[in-house]
Amino acid sequence: MDIKWGMYPWFVERGMEFIHPDDLEAFKSEASNCKVFACIKKNDYLTLRYNDRCYRVKDKLFRPVPPPKFHFGEKVIINGKDEQAIITDIMWHMDKHEHYYFVSIGKKKKLKRFFDSELSQVD
């Protein structure tokens, strides 16, 4: 299976039946309507990966988005600052229909979000 990317806009109010019972508690803290997950397996449940964590969910709520330009843990340069950073979060902007990212520099996570155009790959 090719890796597909998408959002899984689930919250407790939608019902517990969408999340595998063994993953429910962990997924509650991960739930977001704009996080971008990698779908790495499809059986009775989809297996979604967010960074190094995996969750099993029903496919009904999965919303595909294009693959991100940058990936978790990837080293990038913040354009105009020549600062090296590491991708920590991958999100989807609903209005702009594009990815944005949160990064860390050293051990400090930046609060600013960065779009593809604001980052470059490290050579």
For 83-115, what is each residue's pLDDT tens digit? 899 999 999 999 999 999 999 999 899 999 999
| Same domain flag for 13 and 46 | yes
Instruction: Provide the domain limits for residue 52.
Output: 4-65
Please report whether residue 42 resides in a domain.
Answer: yes
9 lies in the same domain as 58: yes
Residues 36 and 59 in one domain: yes
**Do residues 58 and 84 share a domain?**
no
Task: Establish if 104 belongs to a structural domain.
Answer: yes
Which residues are registered as beta bridge partners of 98?
A: 93
Are 28 and 56 part of one and the same domain? Answer: yes
Question: Is there a domain that residue 23 lies in?
Answer: yes
123 in a structural domain:
no
* Tens-place pLDDT, residues 26-64: 999 988 889 999 999 888 899 999 999 999 999 999 999
> Are residues 82 and 60 part of one domain?
no
Question: Which residue blocks in 13-98 are alpha helix, DSSP H?
Answer: 24-30
First to last CA, the chain: 29
Residue 70 covered by a domain: no
Alpha helices in the chain (DSSP H): 24-30
Do 42 and 81 lie in one domain? The reply is no
Same domain? 59 vs 8: yes
User: pLDDT class for 3, splitting at 50, 70, 90?
Assistant: confident
106 in the same domain as 84 = yes
Candidates 107, 106, 108, 103; CA nearest to 119 is: 103
Confidence of residue 65 (pLDDT cuts 50, 70, 90): very high
What secondary structure letter does DSSP report for 44? S
Number of domains into which the chain is organized: 2
pLDDT tens per residue across span 6-29: 999 999 999 999 999 999 999 999
pLDDT at residue 1 greater than cutoff 70: no
The pLDDT value given to residue 31: 86
**At 2, is the pLDDT very low, low, confident or very high (cuts 50, 70, 90)?**
confident
